[in-house]
Chain A
Amino acid sequence: MVNSKHAFWQAFLVTLFVFIAGLVLGFYIEVSNVSNSDLLIRESEVELLDQQIKISSLTSGINQNCESAKQNLFDYADQIYFDAINFEEDGSRSKLTVEQMKVLHKRYDLLRINLWLESLELEKKCGSNFHTIVYFFDYDTKDVDVKSEQRIFSLVLMDLKYKYPDEVLLLPIASNLELGSVDVF
């Protein structure tokens, strides 16, 4: 009646198989997500470069229309902002790895630095009819106090941006991602 000793290693092998099958499936899904994400990143990059060139051309004197230069600057900032939110959501859905998220953050921080410089340039050329708020924060901090404080600061600044959409240029930049240009500022 008692003859099921083999059940222990059989169960181990089946569990291992299920786990490995799960990992392979997970890996396949991740790879497919990564390729989708890569495509999204590339598309977004093309659009951002397009905007960047447009703004550079506006602020460097090719086009002298200050109002449309300002509008393009704000559109560019908005696009960076919403793109970043979309990628954050992808990150929380595990579509993007932690490392991918970090690289993306670095990229967006650099773009914001660039935006900041462009806004300064525009201010020189056209005078100041908007406010630039640069907010440095710690990315992925483990300090609960800092985390809570940053959460509130981001809400306050977001409120400000929603209240004065055409007068406030909001540039949140992570200060702890080891970017030389960010360290300079």
Chain B
Amino acid sequence: MNFVDFLFFFYTFVGLYMLILMIIVYLPHRKEMFNYPKGKPEPVSIVIPCYNEAKSIGKAIENLLNLNYPKQMIEIIVVDDKSTDNSVEIIKQYTKKYSNVKLIVNKKNSGGAAEPTNLGIKAAKYNYIAVADADSYPEKDALLKMIGFLQKDPRIGGVTGAVLVKDAQTFIQKLQYIEYVVISFARKLLDFVDAVYVTPGPFALYRKEILFKIGLFDIKNLTQDIEIVWRMMSYGYRARMSLDTKIYTIAPRSFKKWWRQRVRWNIGGTQTLYKYRKWFPSKNMLGMFIIPFFSASLFIGVVGIILFAYLAIRRALVLFLSTKYSFIANETVTRLVDLSFNPSILNFFGISLFLLGCFYSLFALMTMKELHFKNINIFNLLFFLTLYLMIYPLIMIASMYKLAVGKYSW
């Protein structure tokens, strides 16, 4: 067995392990996927960090004001990070109209979401803190379905929901629609083994006391929503996932914006990995599973793409030289006998893994009842499972470059 074969077997093993893990977790919990502990309404402060969100901030505030939750128990704190558009004017209209909507304007632009979020948390008067993006729209019953997790168990520091794409119109948004559904399904499965490693920015509910105890959001990290959960875990707390809580968010409309967002996620993820590297290996879920799982999801594709590039370049070089010599020798470039249609055992492994991946994604989509054919057709699904996922390692390489040269920002 050569190195390439070994690597292939390793990938197969890891892929198969993750799939079997998901099946083992899913089967006993299949009827509990959408369950959530019933809680009673308690006051919640909702913090919205905002930077140049004039287009969406009004709708976001209105959506939060219309949540199915006692109005007197909701406080909305919008923290403007020195927007250069008319976000502040729009927010002021709401602060005049609603006494429970407050505005804080940061002294200078911080360049991220963590600092304005921390400002909002410090100003919050209630014990439960929800953090929302300015372009996210949780469903009306979101808080009701989330608060029970915090009330039932004092070791729970944060709760997240199923983040889904709102109004997917462009092709890249439709691909993200599939991706978000599959991620939500997987995250719920991880919830059953206490391995929720992120409370995504669009909407998450926290216990204020724990946020203060662990030191609020890390302003240096580009994915403060991942880092905060890892810090919670390092303090012995954990996060939970409410799959029945749907949170709709505006996904990047263009490839360029999507690429930028993913680079930020990868850089933030790598920063977080580096910060918590000493936790590996440990008996804590962070060290035992999350760090290796997260590392694999970030870096395994990079090794794969390097190997793929090496093999592809080598083949292209042979093809180029053969063509060159073919012309010199006045010989045909290729013949039927040169084409090999005999699949090897590694091809079968690859095809099996691909089919299992398709099955898993379809199963997730069916479980989540998100088979809207406007967004999900066979072409989009196949594109997602092949080319879309193959771009991940390229983003990681670009992220590593930016991280190495220090050229990164929110």
Contact = CB atoms under 8 A, between A and B. Distances in A.
The answer to whether A and B come from one shared complex is: yes
Interface of A: 1-2, 4-5, 7-8, 10-12, 14-15, 18-19, 26, 89, 92-94, 144-145, 147-149, 151-152, 155-156, 159
A4 B322 contact: no
A2 B314 CA distance: 50
Given A15-B20, A26-B345, A92-B342, A149 B325 contact: yes
Nearest to B288: A8
Contact of A7 (B193, B324, B326): B193
Interface stretch (B84-92, B327-335, B384-392): B327-335
Interface stretch (B24-32, B198-206, B375-383): B24-32
B2 to A, nearest CB: 9
B289 interface: yes
Given A4-B25, A7-B25, A152 B193 contact: no
Contact of A148 (B35, B289, B321, B335): B321
Given A4-B193, A19-B13, A152 B25 contact: no
15 contacts: A1-B35, A4-B192, A7-B25, A8-B289, A14-B24, A15-B17, A92-B340, A93-B342, A144-B317, A145-B321, A148-B321, A149-B321, A152-B329, A152-B331, A156-B331
Interface in B176-222: 191-194
A7 to B, nearest CB: 5
A2 B331 CA distance: 68
Contacts of B32: 1
B193 A151 contact: no
Given A8-B193, A11-B24, 19 more contacts: A2-B192, A2-B194, A4-B192, A7-B25, A8-B21, A15-B16, A19-B16, A92-B342, A93-B343, A93-B344, A94-B345, A147-B321, A148-B320, A148-B324, A149-B325, A151-B322, A152-B325, A155-B326, A155-B331
A18 B20 contact: yes
B13 A148 contact: no
Nearest to B346: A94
B342 A2 contact: no
Contacts of A149: 321, 325
Q: Is the interface of A mostly helix, strand, loop or mixed?
A: helix
Given A92-B344, A156-B329, A7 B16 contact: no
Given A156-B329, A156-B331, A14 B192 contact: no
Contacts of B16: 15, 18-19
B318 interface: yes
B243 to A, nearest CB: 13
A1 B17 CA distance: 23
B36 to A, nearest CB: 10
A2 B329 CA distance: 70
Highest count of chain A CB atoms <10 Å: which of B191, B289, B331: B331
A11 B17 contact: yes
Contacts of B29: 4
Contacts of B28: 4
B186 to A, nearest CB: 14
B22 to A, nearest CB: 8
B332 A2 contact: no
A11 B21 contact: yes
A49 B342 CA distance: 30
A-B CB proximity, top 4 nearest: A148-B321, A11-B21, A152-B325, A93-B342
A5 B194 contact: yes
A156 B191 CA distance: 64
Contacts of A5: 193-194
A155 B314 CA distance: 21
Contact of A159 (B191, B318, B320, B331): B331
Interface string B1-43: 0000000000001001100110011001100100100000000
A11 B213 CA distance: 35
A156 B330 CA distance: 9
A10 to B, nearest CB: 5
A140 B32 CA distance: 57
B11 to A, nearest CB: 12
Interface string B234-258: 0000000000000000000000000
A158 to B, nearest CB: 9
A2 B193 contact: yes
A15 B326 CA distance: 48
Nearest to B192: A4
* Best-surrounded residue of A7, A11, A149 (most CB of chain B within 10 A): A7
Nearest to A14: B20
A1 to B, nearest CB: 7
